[in-house]
Amino acid sequence: MARIVLHKHAWPLVITVIPSEFDLRDIEAYIPEVDALYKRRERFASLVDTTPLVSLPGASERRRLAEWQNATIDSIRRYNVFSAIVIRSPVVRGAMTAMNWIFRPPAEQLTLATFGEGFLRCIERLRADGRPARPELERMAREAPPASVEDTLATGPGARSDTSADRLRGRGG
């Protein structure tokens, strides 16, 4: 199994990439990483990319995620400005939206079709909350929204300012 990967390089934007499949061990490894974000006591936006996912989590995984969300509901309300969930399937996006009407998430949450849409919404919500993203992320939002987390990696601490997303993908010089 691949693990759930939490990227903090774009803080206050946090990007989670869900692997093609995951199990309880992956969730148990992920939970302390997110709990550590709440301990920072700073507001952030969350962009969750589920596009690699090929099978839905089982009942035990869904139950554990629900238990954890219920246990951290106050932290979510206090520190999570906004969550964008990228879901490729229109049917699954529709089902998730309907579920959010019935069971309101503790912080604003939208399901979107592309990483770029999610990125833009997160940047907008951070700005509206008085927590603008770093200048290079704001520039990305204005000029060319990223298509994937890899496109944002050049913006992390210690990244070279002349590194472009094309260079990260091996195109350009």
Lowest mean pLDDT among 13-22, 83-92, 96-105, 162-171: 162-171
At 55 the pLDDT is: 80
Of 2, 59, 5, 45, give the one whose Cα is nearest residue 141: 45
Task: Report the alpha-carbon distance of residue 9 to residue 98 in Å, rounded.
Answer: 32
Grade residue 162 by pLDDT with cuts at 50, 70 and 90: very low
* Domain extents in the chain: 5-166
Mean pLDDT (whole number) for 110-137: 95
Provide CATH code, domain 5-166: 3.40.525
pLDDT tens digits along 10-53: 999 999 999 999 999 999 999 999 999 999 999 999 999 999 98
List, as one string, the DSSP characters of 104-127: --SS-EEEES-HHHHHHHHHHHHH
Q: What is the pLDDT of residues 101-121, one digit of tens each?
A: 777 788 999 999 999 999 999
Residue 124, pLDDT > 90, answer yes
Mean of the per-residue pLDDT values for the chain?
Answer: 85
pLDDT at residue 172 in the model? 35
Phi, psi of 109 (to 5 degrees): -145, 135
pLDDT of amino acid 171: 33
Global pTM value: 0.84
